[in-house]
Homo-oligomer: A and B are copies of this chain.
Amino acid sequence: MSANARILCPTLKQRLMTAEKAAELIPAGANVGMSGFTGAGYPKVVPGALAERIRKLNAREGSEPFRINVWTGASTAPELDGVLAEVDGIEMRLPFQSDPICRQRINNGTMDYVDLHLSEVSQYAWSGFLGKMDIALIEVAGIREDGSLIPSSSIGNNKTWIEQADKIILEVNSKQNIKLEGMHDVYYGTALPPDRKPIMLTDPADRIGEFYFECPPEKVIAVVESDAADRNSPFKASDETSQKIAQHILDFFEREIELGRLPKELLPIQSGVGNIPNAVLEGLDAGPFKNLTAFTEVIQDGMLKMLKSGTLSVASATAFSLSPEGIKEFDENIDLYRDKIILRQQDISNHPELARRLGIIAMNGMIECDIYGNVNSTHIMGTRMMNGIGGSGDFARNGYLSIFVSPSIAKDGAISSIVPMVSHVDHTEHDVKVIVTEQGLADLRGLSPRQRAREIINHCAHPDFRPALHDYFERALHSGRGMHTPHLLGEALSWHQRYEEEGQM
């Protein structure tokens, strides 16, 4: 079905135009709310046309640089973040990105990046201190006769952008499976305080909203057709390191169930994207588990398999993040998945109220953690942004169990992921319950900092770095300084410094 055939509202059909024409409607300095979450559901043609326009404008001598502020759900893809960053078209970016060119600009100081908890973005936009949203640029799977919109492969902040923007540009993408219709749950019950009400969701399978976005046709200034697939990363078969990490987590779950501290269906799972989380999902699928649930940000390949096998009964998320094979599997068997997947806006998928109530088991990657259990998810050597905190803080703080995972070493052993003191803190000692590397698992619950240090060094550090970590800890213990969290201030960050100077921790 062509994109054109998916535009059923006569008024909006009149606004059909090329991506180039639509891009001309975006003024310099605009705050633009774009769709897109983890490489799914982002606009695919207008950003490129806009980048081209910016490139031309900025090439003219003496012209004021043309830049916009880009707000999204989370990360997008080269066709959005990449092309706009390439032409230096982004003044400020929020709330999350993972694009190589964006990252370069953030780290060379030519782009401002505001790294936010994903659950908080829409309330920030509503409360007004981020400024007025000028334009929303949203990919949809179709436009209904009454002007309401069929969401695409992610929801993210789209509901908020559509409500908040003065003007709206829609991209209707005919590559998105039209059977996505009915899989979304758009909740219109949110409000700013003091008018907030309880969110009456008590199970990941609960539906509390609508299938469609409401959208006042008079705000829509352009409709553009597109026909390009979401650009997701190919699926890598899990490696030995990931499998070992997964096994430690599975053993931990089994022990907790035996001890009566977790139900045998576990609790709703939240899982970051990537190699290790996918290995954990594979492990769960191979194990004795049945009727698990997921309340998470993204649906990964592993979750499709689990839904098919019955390991997982339902998965609630705000976006897909499937490999090309995953997309194929999903498209071919969409009738099987339709009833078992619910896509929600990110202020609901990541909501503190729901994370706490449902008792989420949060599993996320980390860059490094220190011997006291502080986790760095965002900064390389304390200064360079990797991606951002994303939803990890929403789930780690308010969930039931927060598990952070990483290989114990990086860059072929030049870097230890367990360090004396992290170079940046995203998750404090108060929020981190379990640390896992391929070496083992450290259960930090109920431990004091000194107890945690021994647990982490002995169970998680790589043997090559273990003696140096013990040595640091012992010398800190005998330094005559405070013994609650023993540190040698002059040495605490020396591992990172050594890496920067010598290429080896």
In the complex, whether A109 has a CB less than 8 A from a CB of chain B is: yes
The digit string for A417-460, where 1 denotes a CB below 8 A from any CB of B, is 00000011111111100000000000101111011000000000
In the complex, whether A130 has a CB less than 8 A from a CB of chain B is: yes
From B116, B123, B384, B431, A484 is in contact (CB under 8 Å) with B384
| Chain A residues touching B, range | 35 or more
A252 to B91, CA, bound (A): 27
From B129, B382, B426, B500, A445 is in contact (CB under 8 Å) with B129
Contact, CB under 8 Å: B112 / A448: yes
Contact, CB under 8 Å: B196 / A384: no
How near does chain B come to A386, taking the closest CB pair, in angstroms? 10
How near does chain B come to A15, taking the closest CB pair, in angstroms? 31
In the complex, whether A400 has a CB less than 8 A from a CB of chain B is: yes
How near does chain B come to A391, taking the closest CB pair, in angstroms? 11
A500 to B197, CA, bound (A): 50
Please name all residues of chain B whose beta carbon is closer than 8 Å to the beta carbon of A451 when the two chains form the complex: 112
Contact, CB under 8 Å: B489 / A193: no
A446 to B421, CA, bound (A): 28
Contact, CB under 8 Å: A117 / B430: yes
How near does chain B come to A80, taking the closest CB pair, in angstroms? 20
| Residue of A476, A482, A486 with most partner-chain B CB within 10 A | A482
The digit string for A320-363, where 1 denotes a CB below 8 A from any CB of B, is 00000000000000000000000000000001110111110000
Assuming the contacts A383-B485, A489-B500, asked whether A353 and B359 have C-beta atoms less than 8 A apart, the reply is no
Contact, CB under 8 Å: A128 / B352: no
Contact, CB under 8 Å: A127 / B261: yes
Contact, CB under 8 Å: B489 / A423: yes
Q: Can you list 21 A-B pairs with a CB-CB distance of less than 8 A?
A: A92-B448, A106-B483, A107-B482, A108-B483, A115-B429, A117-B431, A124-B446, A193-B400, A352-B355, A352-B397, A379-B482, A382-B485, A383-B476, A385-B482, A385-B485, A389-B430, A393-B430, A489-B496, A489-B497, A489-B500, A492-B493
How near does chain B come to A481, taking the closest CB pair, in angstroms? 5
Contact, CB under 8 Å: A194 / B485: no
| Residue of A131, A383, A496 with most partner-chain B CB within 10 A | A383
In the complex, whether A215 has a CB less than 8 A from a CB of chain B is: no
From B130, B359, B487, A382 is in contact (CB under 8 Å) with B487
A358 to B260, CA, bound (A): 34
A440 to B398, CA, bound (A): 32
Please name all residues of chain B whose beta carbon is closer than 8 Å to the beta carbon of A380 when the two chains form the complex: 482
| Residue of A92, A116, A493 with most partner-chain B CB within 10 A | A493
Please name all residues of chain B whose beta carbon is closer than 8 Å to the beta carbon of A116 when the two chains form the complex: 430
Please name all residues of chain B whose beta carbon is closer than 8 Å to the beta carbon of A426 when the two chains form the complex: 428, 430
Contact, CB under 8 Å: B423 / A425: no
In the complex, whether A490 has a CB less than 8 A from a CB of chain B is: yes
Contact, CB under 8 Å: B202 / A196: yes
A24 to B31, CA, bound (A): 69
